[in-house]
Structure 1
Amino acid sequence: MPSQLEELVSFLHSPQPAVRQIALDNLVGFSTGPTAAIFKYDNCKAIDDLKGLSKEKSKTLVQQSVTILANLCDDDQLRRLIASDEHYLEWLSWKICHLENTSADIMSVLLSNLAKEDAINKVFDFKRGKNDELPPLDKTVFKSDRVIDCLMDCFVKGYDRQLNKYANFDFLSYFFADISRFRRGRQYFIEQQDYDGVVPLSKLLVFTEKYDSKIRREGVASTIKNSLFDSETHDRILNDQQINLLPYILLPIASAKDSEIDEEDMFNLPDELQLLPEDKIRDPVPAIVCNHLESLLLLCTTNSGREFLRSKSVYPLIRELHKNVEDEDMADLCYRIVNVLMRGEPENGQVEELPSRAADEEEESDEEGIVEVS
């Protein structure tokens, strides 16, 4: 005999809209923690019911069903089941880009949670075609027929609800962080795109100092770091003026209080770091600062990367940071960077103790956690 909760789950596929709504009203609170297991009742039929409800016209139905799906991603089996539905993944990706979608932000949370699965790589293949089931797309805003480009446009152009008054698309930063764990994702972020001639990573950098959005800063910092896991790309990224990466790694970790940098070192810093205003503060979230420090450590993997950082006075900047922080993780990363930059070069040009990783070991790179919605 099914329990009362399992019976309630079975009401999600009732032919009566009122019954489905009552079921949703009561089930949202059970979609996190141990009680989430009730959604596995009857061979996980609830997952298909919830995906169907997320395509309804009712804002309440959509938001509640997507909230449940997002929360269920904390369960590996259920997350894998949702992500394996390629047609739903395609619909969800395009639906976020529908500029009249009142649930775009909660759908961004779901998409970012699904990005823990390898199946998310399918998003790079989704192109606009003649599929009448897909949501409409505003061609005056979106110039690409690839959904990954349109999601990037949503994030960059829609940050202050300028595209969709119902959404700020902040959680797409976590989605970008997770897809950059995969080689295909890293390639996307560092390669110039045909539709606009711009390197996607360069579009994200401005958000490293958006201090009114921790989510954006955190996701972008992780995306930057993950994009640097392939050391053979470092020279091109560092020297590409279209990207201009280094200042956007250094600015969040710099403060006007870091004043003991001599004049020669000061003017070797990137232009953006010279003569900082008196109100310039360091990112207030230690974990985000650590992400940027880890990006610098990755850039220290090659001899040319270390020489580049030395030429840009990264050592004195990190030295000042080390003097002015109390967080142990930040202090440890500063010590490691200073140790690498200030010692002599080994004969083979490699620094043995620096973290290294094979290109296909995606599970070792940084990823954002599952976002639960209350």
Structure 2
Amino acid sequence: MEHALNDLLKFVQIGARLDLKALAVEHVLGLTGTPEGLEAICNNPALLVSLISLLDDTSIPIAKDASLCLVNIAAQEKGANELIKVDLEQSCPPLQRPPEDIVRQCLTHIFNKDSKLADQCCMILSNLSRPSHLIEEIINVIEKSGKSFDELIEVFTRIEFNKNARFHYLGPVLSNLSQSQRVRRYILDKEKCVIQRLLPFTDYKDSLIRRGGIVGTLKNCCFESEFHDWLLSDDVDILPRLLLPLAGPEEFDDADTDKLPLDLQYLPEDKLREDDPDIRTILLEALTQLCSKKVNRELIRSKNTYLILRELHKWETDKKALLACENLVDILIRTEDEIMEDNLKELQVPNDLATKFDKFNSEL
């Protein structure tokens, strides 16, 4: 296969004859659908650089096929590593100009209002940022690219930014990158109002990818305990945004309803819960993070959160989501006298119990 790829290489590049280039790229795309093909392509730096170059090919069909090749390559951790680490100058075919690195290439298309590859480049960036050890490097490239996270959020939140693209996969990009404290601190900057612009997408019906990406981003931000008071305050009001996707059409008496956040009062009869169990689990885990301090637990209880969780627990069938729900309920139904700890994150769990809990969770 290595010899075959080397034979194809002269056609998989800018300037090759159009018909032969189209066939060669199509063949490479087929190879990315097999483990053996992906392995061979990842071991061919010159081919990787040529595919990155073809993102700028004047033929849109060829550029799209090249982008789909890169989506598939980046989906594997080894492929993501090779695409980020490849030496562009050394591996560039003779007489060809080295392309920009793949992250900058993706950003160029994402910020180009007329690009027909913006969505594919969002998918590439989403896959590249999945391995945790590549996240900081990708953030560095973004910060040095001349573009800011402010602009990236602007593209994501403006649905009509590019008539050729939907930008749903920027959701997972933000979720992946928000594993870094640098990105979390940017999203949680009280002067920028970033997180307020992301909150409406927790219930975005048109795309599970966008919805899941933002819920993951919010959960990551909830690991920053010092911001919990602000997140739960009227300035952000994150609680109803996390609870609303978990709520169903159940009716409650007026006394219970009045205690709920306004957005959860008198929901319509056709109100549906979030249908993806992974997203439900992430929402519950985010809420659990917000319960770390006593003052916030009391606020969350006062909003009748237990009522929503009780009905969710009756309805839920996914084991992982059930466990997440039970963990959260277990905190909220206890009195503070029973908990006897202001900050649960400071609670020391004995090693033998931690091991037992981990094993129990894994079995579930």
Question: Is the structural similarity TM-score above 0.5?
Answer: yes
1:89-111: CA deviations, max 9, x gaps? 22321321111001111111011
Q: Pick from 345, 348, 351: which aligns with 2:341? A: 348
Query: Which structure 2 residues correspond to residues 326-337 of structure 1 after superposition, within 5 A?
Result: 326-337=317-328
Amino acid at match of 2:22: Q
- Residue 7 of structure 1 deviates from its aligned partner by 2.8
1:40-81: CA deviations, max 9, x gaps? 344x21111111111222211211111111111133333123
* Greater share of helix: 2
Matched residue, 1:108: 122
Matched residue, 1:47: 48
For 1:192 and 1:66, how far apart are their aligned partners in 2? 37
For 1:190 and 1:65, how far apart are their aligned partners in 2? 36
User: Is 2:214 the partner of 1:216?
Assistant: no
Contact 2:142/2:148 (<8 A) preserved: yes
Amino acid at match of 1:107: C
Matched residue, 2:199: 205
For 1:11 and 1:127, how far apart are their aligned partners in 2? 30
Contact 1:171/1:216 (<8 A) preserved: yes
Amino acid at match of 1:199: C
Q: Pick from 14, 37, 40: which aligns with 2:39? A: 37
Q: Pick from 242, 250, 256: which aligns with 2:235? A: 242
Cα 1:14–1:215 shift into 2, 3 Å: closer
Contact 2:341/2:347 (<8 A) preserved: no
User: Is 2:245 the partner of 1:252?
Assistant: yes
1:206-250: CA deviations, max 9, x gaps? 1222222111111111111111112222112211x3322111101
- Residue 341 of structure 1 deviates from its aligned partner by 0.9
Matched residue, 2:112: 98
- Residue 84 of structure 1 deviates from its aligned partner by 4.1
Q: Pick from 110, 120, 138: which aligns with 2:138? A: 120
User: Is 2:292 the partner of 1:294?
Assistant: no
Amino acid at match of 1:151: L
Amino acid at match of 2:225: S
1:245-281: CA deviations, max 9, x gaps? 1111011000112x3x443332121111111122211
For 1:275 and 1:333, how far apart are their aligned partners in 2? 26
Q: CA RMSD in A?
A: 2.4
User: Is 2:341 the partner of 1:323?
Assistant: no
For 1:41 and 1:285, how far apart are their aligned partners in 2? 37
Cα 1:2–1:170 shift into 2, 3 Å: closer
For 1:192 and 1:98, how far apart are their aligned partners in 2? 29
1:119-154: CA deviations, max 9, x gaps? 1112551454xxxxxxxxxxxxxxxxx332222111
- Residue 87 of structure 1 deviates from its aligned partner by 4.3
| Higher relative contact order, chain-length normalized (CA < 8 Å, sep 6+) | 1
Aligned residues: 328
For 1:267 and 1:221, how far apart are their aligned partners in 2? 26
Structure 1 gaps of 5+ residues are 129-145, 357-374
Query: Which structure 2 residues correspond to residues 136-147 of structure 1 after superposition, within 5 A?
Result: 146-147=147-148
Structure 2 gaps of 5+ residues are 87-99, 350-364
For 2:280 and 2:244, how far apart are their aligned partners in 1? 10
Contact 2:14/2:53 (<8 A) preserved: no
1:329-355: CA deviations, max 9, x gaps? 222222111110111323332337999
Query: Which structure 2 residues correspond to residues 260-279 of structure 1 after superposition, within 5 A?
Result: 261-279=252-270
TM-score by length of 1: 0.81
Contact 1:9/1:27 (<8 A) preserved: no
1:15-44: CA deviations, max 9, x gaps? 5233332210211111133121121344x2
